[in-house]
Amino acid sequence: MEKSALQMARAAYQPKLPKALQGPVQAKEGAATQSVGNQEEIKALFPNTYGMPVVEFVPAESENNKAINVGIILSGGQAPGGHNVVSGLYDGVKSLNKESKLYGFLMGPGGLVDHKYIEFTDEYIDEYRNTGGFDIIGSGRTKLEKESQFESGMEIIRKLGINAIVIIGGDDSNTNACVLAEYYAAKQYGVQVIGCPKTIDGDLKNEQIETSFGFDTACKTYSELIGNIQRDCNSARKYWHFIKVMGRSASHIALECALQCQPNVCLVSEEVEAKQMSLDDVVAYIAKAVADRAADGNNFGTVVIPEGLIEFIPAIKKLIAQLNEVLTDPATGESRVFGSAEEQIDFVLNNITSDNKAVLESLPADVKRQLCLDRDPHGNVQVSLIETEKLLSAMVAKKLGEWKAAGKYNGKFSAQHHFFGYEGRCAAPSNYDADYCYSLGYNASRLISNGKTGYMSVIKNTTAPAAEWIAGGVPITMMMNIERRNGANKPVIRKALVELEGAPFKYFASKREEWAKQTCYVYPGPIQYWGPTEVCDQCTRTLALEQGK
């Protein structure tokens, strides 16, 4: 494999481990746990994996060094650091016993079901240490939820003598991991299942999980790009740049990028919903910032928009919820099939409420069509396909035209559009993510050797130097509640949204009026891998503020 100079230099980097994982460990167990919501329902669904204690690893004089065989799966969208979870797990199982084996199932959970795998070797793993992407074995979005899938997986698990499966994924993938752990426990198959918290969106976190891996690197990558645009913006002084960033279900990325770059406007979906803002309210808010800067002679600026903004506008959220219901076949739980796009649109218009129909009809034709037609693999509206940045800039231009005709605005408005998504998903991991991910993988090996199943690998205290990080595990059922998905009530891991009473948002809110009026841009520059700690090893602003650092 041809390598760049950076890859070759990074290959030599040895990720740091928490002190507790640098030798033999033993598990210190806490009190019994319960789910974050719907306790009785979750307990009934997961009788074999519910109520287990939180685990913390502490140094021991010796540990179980029996050889173990482990399978690993990369599930869902890519996130920087995934390769280090794999290499950390590999090094972890080999440190227990050199006869241990690690198998990678190819292209996501489907690889387990279809028996497609490779056995990792030192040479193979070494090619991918500290690199971005999931290309070491590929990823996929097959959902593990059917008994036939579980049993098919067991065939290859038995053939390879696998003791445990590690699933690296977001909230949906780890919900599947919990279901799989419960099934294998109920059947007494003796196969453990461990999850690892992955998603650049940052919405898989709670009191036990400080951050999901990849969030740090992705935000630093997007912030570099936004900073570059702001430098250009401040140089040409003639464009308003509308920049959409990833984050369908939460605005953590948009908020973190705002904290790093200080744009003129940053929208936070959770605030839009809390304030019951309409689409016109959002447009007026941006237009006012444009007009206020124009009054000072500044006909330029930047607007950061979370990918899922549209879905948080209450009237549109209500519409989307009903669209997800009516376009799901209640008999199968799958998306309904139509003969043509026109037939599908007619079906929608005839099966939604008059209020929702009015909202749908008020939207531009292309947005209306996308809402009616485009579905993701889970049967939901493809919000990411809606070009929110273009929709908002067009509506702002229209609003400013109305204000100009009324003598309320006398500036110039010209827009540029950007969507930063894939650019951040496979970036070379920052030192923070390289260390964090390696620790998550290594830690997973200790959860396995200590006989745990249905647990998430967790590393805490990560604003401190890596040696002071705390390693352990948390039962996945502890994070679950019941939510409405695809027309049915299902057990899922609760997503973490931006907390409007939290320190990161409060800090942002205290500064945004100044940022809106003044040109206060910060230019973060590219991720640094070598140099002073304050440049190279810092966590996100979000995490630092949450921890009071």
Active site residues: 201
Neighbours of 517 (CB within 10 A): 15
**At residue 25, what are phi and psi to the nearest 5 degrees?**
-130, 160
Distance separating the N- and C-terminal Cα atoms of the chain? 42
E strand spans, 170-239: 192-197
Q: Are 248 and 384 in contact (CB under 8 A)?
A: yes
Residue 269 tokens, joined: 């979906």
Nearest partner of 15 among 101, 90, 65, judged by Cα: 90
Q: Are 215 and 429 in contact (CB under 8 A)?
A: no
Q: Which residues does 254 contact at the CB level (< 8 Å), separation at least 6?
A: 245, 247, 266, 267, 268, 269, 304, 305, 306
3 state SS of 142: coil
Q: Are 505 and 498 in contact (CB under 8 A)?
A: yes
C-alpha distances in Å from residue 51, one per residue of 31, 37, 54: 9, 13, 9
Residue 360 tokens, joined: 């749908």
Nearest partner of 287 among 26, 520, 534, 516, judged by Cα: 516
Residue 69 tokens, joined: 């065989």
User: Widest CA span of the chain, in angstroms?
Assistant: 79
CA-CA-CA-CA torsion sign (533, 535, 540, 544):
positive
3 state SS of 527: coil
